[in-house]
Chain A
Amino acid sequence: MTRIKLGSAVLRGTVVPVLMASLMSTSALGAAPVDLSKWSPEYVRSIAGTQDFDTAADCAKVTPLDYKGRLTFWYQGVFEGDPDLLRQYYKDFFETFRKTYPNIQLEDQALTYNDLLDKFRTALLGNAAPMAVRLQILGGTEFASKGYLQPLKPEDVGYSTEDFWPGAMKAVTWDGVTYGIPTNNETMAFIWNADIFKRAGLDPDKAPATWDDVIKYSKQIHDKLGIAGYGLVARKNAGNTPYRFMPQLWAYGGGVFDEATANPTYEQVELDSPQSKAALQASYDMYVRDKSVPVSALTNQQADNQPLFVAGQLGMMISHPSDYNVMLDLQAKATGADKDKAQTVIDNMRYGLIPTGPDGKRAVVFGGSNIHILKPEYVEGGKVDEPAAKAIICMWTSPEWSLKMAYAGSNPGNLNGFKTKWMKERLDNIKFLDVTTSMLPYGIPFPALPQSPEIMNIIVPDMLQNALTGAMTVDQAADDAAQKVKDLMGGL
């Protein structure tokens, strides 16, 4: 394993110019964390653009800019449902990294959300993993618990743990040890088409307040206009499904375990509770009873809902603010009358808070991604170039890049990202950002358990499919899913 000591770096004269540069701007290393107790869209606006950061100077303190090395790196990258704007930021990041660290030979590989876990697991079995990996938030605990990851905390790359969301830090902590750093954290919002609402006889500027309202609105839209009301998604092995069903489950007071409580213990399986069954019943009512959601929901992902929404064939959906940019991209590709139609949809696109459950409970998945360093024995060639890995991690999790890489849809993992000038610019450029920042306090992380990927990607979607296809009743589907979780937790 290659290690660079600070003393030897000073001796080589690399730190001096870096220290000079850091004095010119406020360093992220000493920045005070954002005050989460004051969190509101107004507070976010008040801190945006209040601090400058020099990413290269900050990262030079972790890995000298003239460091010579080689890094293999896999990451969950952009996919078909992301806007072109995000593609450009990803491109810019890797170009900037190569310019900042010209002597690090970077072999990077982008994989989509749904493919990354499968490929990474397979690579680990053959000791052919990359040196560093950026995984979806669900993955951190699984690989940490199995011993594949090296301990890695924000302090190792020049930041402090307080610079990151406490909920996100939980997702990279296993058995009291931190194994990664959050890159971005996201909470989605509720999107609707005001024109469709109006034509269906609903208040165009008012989002459904409760999930029961969603059911009613969805039926009303379908019955009056003959189009789908709510964009239900229930495909298996796709991250989109739990991101859309779990807020509903939690709002009704249910859960897989007690993950929606302040101090979850994950001891009791709650998928078969009356509240969880009520949430499943709500999906059943929309899909089977009212037939008010896309029939294709069982094979759809959110990327399939986007064209339906821009075509004016879908009234409501849960998604990121980035969907606004996706709609702009889709509109740009449309021709003739379709272009005008898409423009009408964009003009009528509204964002609001995700509805509450019957008891006023509002919830959203606190999602995101983490970055990790692998242990050498699982890496191709048996070596990890740690300074090179820390260089890219420092850059990606910096206030600047954690903000830019989440520009269109997500939020920066590093809370100092909210203070940057790019956040201010983003508040002006990206519509509806206030709504998702308002949803952040309602964010609930997935259970920080190694079994979470299977629960969220397979068991929960299976439960939905079993109920919605009539293969099982709602009760049977919930009981079956609860039993599967119990078996899984029991090691079966």
Chain B
Amino acid sequence: MTIVTGKAEARRRLQPGWSGALRKIWEHRADYAYVLPAIVVMLIVIAYPIYYTVELSFFKTPPGLQLRDKSFIGFDNYTAILTSQVFWKVTWNTLIWTLGSTLISFVLGFATALALHCDFIGRGVLRAILIIPWVISAVAASYIWKWIYHSDFGIIGAVLVGLGLTDRPPNFIDNVSTVLPSLIVVNIWREFPFAMIMMMAGLQTVPEQLLRAAEVDGANAWQRFWHVTFPHLRNVSTVTILLLAVANFNSFIIPWIMTGGGPSNASHIWITHIYELAFGRQRWGVASAYSVLLFLILMTLGYFYVRALSGNERKEGSA
């Protein structure tokens, strides 16, 4: 039932030509005023850099000149990127990095959350210990892992040699074939606690009476999980996967500190490549074009993230 107040009616009479959207904005002007400072800040620190990056992506910025000496070249930077071999190599690395890190972190985090959802002695302590990789500084973790993996004196190599399993320490990060999987392992170690926390929170929302009812109906553990628990976790899973994917696509610290994108570009992902192009080689125009492409991909992921969140809200609203 819609209640039309006299005030609202009078407002409508005052602005007879306004469209529905504008009228809504006018009606919510106080709300907009509250968010205005945040919008202004966002325009300064987000919208302008985005605009500038897009603009710069259409310019040639020779490394020997100042940025103000740039020249307009249209889509040439985009063409150069898409036709370069390095782009495809870096894109392939990025896909492996993002998918590998995201999916394995999620599965591992989910499995751990399920294990920790059961009641057992020491659960709290275990939960606290498992969160450590996530709260530890990524920079510190990268340096520690660099030494764990060290191709000559790493702990893993020493243990394997000590056990007689190998003559020489395995080459983890100085080899083009093994470097990316090795970095993904570090990333998973750091990220799976995030997935674990998200899924643990999700598990709290699964109605206990539904599980009990299913049990009474004769459903076994797997059936209870698949038909009751998992459907309830679908939205939180989507959100977790999207957040992990966005974070991994944007990930910089671990590959940069541990290998600098090497050896021989084997661990360069988009973000490290962009950094090197911009700050190491001063190809600001090309780096900007890369950034625009990355921005579009992340915005697409962001769209699905928002959709997933809205889906949650709608579901909760209808429930």
User: Is there a chain B Cβ closer than 8 Å to A458's Cβ?
Assistant: yes
User: Is there a chain B Cβ closer than 8 Å to A36's Cβ?
Assistant: no
* Contact residues of B between 142 and 197, Cβ < 8 Å to A: 146, 150-153, 168-169, 171, 173-176
Chain A residues with Cβ below 8 Å from B251 are: none
The chain A residue with its CB closest to the CB of B256 is A237
Chain A residues with Cβ below 8 Å from B173 are: 296, 299
A125 to B287 alpha-carbon distance, docked (Å): 15
User: Is there a chain A Cβ closer than 8 Å to B65's Cβ?
Assistant: yes
Given A118-B280, A308-B153: A471 touches B176 (CB 8 Å cut-off) = yes
Chain B residues with Cβ below 8 Å from A145 are: 64
Q: Which of A146, A235, A236, A461 has the most CB of B within 10 A?
A: A236
Given A235-B262, A236-B261, A299-B259: A454 touches B279 (CB 8 Å cut-off) = no
User: Is there a chain A Cβ closer than 8 Å to B227's Cβ?
Assistant: no
* Contact residues of A between 34 and 76, Cβ < 8 Å to B: none
Chain A residues with Cβ below 8 Å from B55 are: none
Chain B residues with Cβ below 8 Å from A85 are: none
A454 in complex: contacting residue of B150, B259, B280, CB < 8 Å: B280
Chain B residues with Cβ below 8 Å from A389 are: none
Instruction: Give the shortest distance, in Å, between B70 (CB) and chain A (any CB).
Output: 12
Chain A: number of interface residues, binned into ranges: 35 or more
Asked whether B65 lies within 8 Å of A466 as measured between CB atoms, the reply is: no
Chain A residues with Cβ below 8 Å from B276 are: 237, 458
A451 to B64 alpha-carbon distance, docked (Å): 7
Asked whether A454 lies within 8 Å of B263 as measured between CB atoms, the reply is: no
Give 10 nearest A-B pairs by CB, closest first: A295-B151, A298-B263, A471-B264, A296-B151, A118-B279, A298-B174, A465-B264, A469-B264, A465-B263, A469-B263
A interface, CB within 8 angstroms of B: 118, 121-122, 125, 145-148, 228, 234-238, 294-299, 308, 313, 450-451, 454, 457-458, 461-462, 465-466, 468-472, 488, 491
Asked whether A462 lies within 8 Å of B264 as measured between CB atoms, the reply is: yes
Chain B residues with Cβ below 8 Å from A457 are: 280
A443 to B276 alpha-carbon distance, docked (Å): 30
The chain B residue with its CB closest to the CB of A118 is B279
A237 in complex: contacting residue of B168, B176, B260, CB < 8 Å: B260
Chain B residues with Cβ below 8 Å from A296 are: 150-153, 173-174
Instruction: Give the shortest distance, in Å, between B23 (CB) and chain A (any CB).
Output: 43
Asked whether A454 lies within 8 Å of B152 as measured between CB atoms, the reply is: no
User: Is there a chain A Cβ closer than 8 Å to B311's Cβ?
Assistant: no
Chain B residues with Cβ below 8 Å from A297 are: 174
B67 in complex: contacting residue of A125, A228, A238, CB < 8 Å: A125
Instruction: Give the shortest distance, in Å, between B140 (CB) and chain A (any CB).
Output: 14
A145 to B282 alpha-carbon distance, docked (Å): 14
A237 to B276 alpha-carbon distance, docked (Å): 9
Q: Which of B150, B264, B265, B266 has the most CB of A within 10 A?
A: B264
Chain B: number of interface residues, binned into ranges: 20 to 34
CB<8 Å pairs between A and B, sample of 6: A145-B64, A147-B66, A238-B260, A469-B263, A469-B264, A469-B266
Chain A residues with Cβ below 8 Å from B146 are: 299
Instruction: Give the shortest distance, in Å, between A305 (CB) and chain B (any CB).
Output: 10
Asked whether A491 lies within 8 Å of B64 as measured between CB atoms, the reply is: yes
Asked whether B152 lies within 8 Å of A308 as measured between CB atoms, the reply is: yes
B252-287 vs A: 1/0 string, CB under 8 Å? 000000111111111000000000100111101000
Given A299-B146, A308-B153, A491-B62: A470 touches B176 (CB 8 Å cut-off) = yes
The chain B residue with its CB closest to the CB of A468 is B263
A458 to B66 alpha-carbon distance, docked (Å): 20
A365 to B206 alpha-carbon distance, docked (Å): 67
Chain A residues with Cβ below 8 Å from B260 are: 235-238, 299
A299 in complex: contacting residue of B62, B65, B176, B258, CB < 8 Å: B258
Q: Which of A121, A450, A461, A465 has the most CB of B within 10 A?
A: A465
Chain B residues with Cβ below 8 Å from A308 are: 152-153
Asked whether A313 lies within 8 Å of B174 as measured between CB atoms, the reply is: no
B171 in complex: contacting residue of A237, A295, A313, CB < 8 Å: A295
Instruction: Give the shortest distance, in Å, between B145 (CB) and chain A (any CB).
Output: 12
Chain A residues with Cβ below 8 Å from B152 are: 228, 294-296, 308, 313
User: Is there a chain A Cβ closer than 8 Å to B63's Cβ?
Assistant: yes
Instruction: Give the shortest distance, in Å, between B44 (CB) and chain A (any CB).
Output: 14
